[in-house]
């Protein structure tokens, strides 16, 4: 008598497991162009953070900033995977927020270029700090949680 509920639970688990796995697989296979752009930006971004304070590297830093800028500009035309799960007004709100944050990011990258061209490394380092906050906030608000 007592064992029956356990058996039922186990049977249910066995029945639902394949579906859960199928779902998981779908998510793993889901790949977006935005991810590609972000990955491309990431390598340049790490180097920028390492060398931003070194005036001797400004030319190289500017070339790296151009890469991040190109990625962020392309990202303006792309749709995050979380938006695809939404509909109607919620989706519009999500996309408006995403676009606003990405436009601000592109603006900050423009400021970063200006500071570097002027040889203002302290100013440039401060803008890199702001961009890093924008990256973190952007990921908090628009990127699935299970990813970095």
**Number of residues located near ligand HEM, criterion CB under 6 A:** 24
Which one of residues 62, 70, 101, 126 is an interface residue with ligand HEM (CB under 6 A)? 101
If one asks whether residue 74 binds ligand HEM (CB under 6 A), the answer comes out as no
- Number of Cβ within 10 Å of residue 147's Cβ equals 9
Q: What residues from 105 to 124 belong to the interface with ligand HEM (CB under 6 A)?
A: 105
Which part of the chain contacts ligand HEM (CB under 6 A), choosing from 9-17, 50-58, 122-130, 136-144? Answer: 136-144
Q: What residues from 1 to 30 belong to the interface with ligand HEM (CB under 6 A)?
A: none
For residue 143, give the DSSP letter.
S
Tokens of 69: 């800028």
If one asks whether residue 42 binds ligand HEM (CB under 6 A), the answer comes out as yes
Contact 48, 116 (CB under 8 A): no
Which one of residues 81, 95, 106, 125 is an interface residue with ligand HEM (CB under 6 A)? 81
80-87 CB contacts, 8 Å cutoff, 24+ apart: 80/32, 80/34, 80/142, 80/143, 81/30, 81/32, 81/34, 81/35, 81/144, 82/142, 82/143, 82/144, 83/142
Which spans of this chain sit near ligand HEM (rule: CB under 6 A)? 32, 34-35, 38-39, 41-42, 45, 68, 80-82, 98, 101-102, 105, 131, 134-135, 138-139, 142-143, 147
């Amino acid at each position: 008598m007592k064992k029956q509920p356990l058996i039922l639970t186990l049977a249910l688990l066995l029945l639902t497991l394949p579906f859960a796995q199928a779902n998981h697989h779908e998510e793993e296979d889901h790949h977006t162009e935005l991810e590609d752009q972000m990955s491309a930006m990431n390598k340049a971004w790490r180097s920028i953070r390492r060398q931003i304070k070194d005036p001797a590297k400004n030319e190289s830093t500017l070339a790296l900033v151009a890469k991040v800028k190109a990625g962020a500009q392309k990202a303006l035309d792309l749709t995050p995977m979380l938006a695809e799960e939404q509909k109607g007004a919620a989706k519009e709100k999500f996309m408006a927020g995403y676009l606003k944050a990405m436009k601000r990011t592109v603006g900050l990258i423009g400021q970063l270029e200006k500071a570097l061209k002027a040889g203002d490394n302290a100013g440039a380092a401060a803008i890199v700090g702001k961009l890093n906050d924008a990256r973190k906030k952007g990921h908090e608000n628009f990127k699935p949680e299970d990813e970095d």
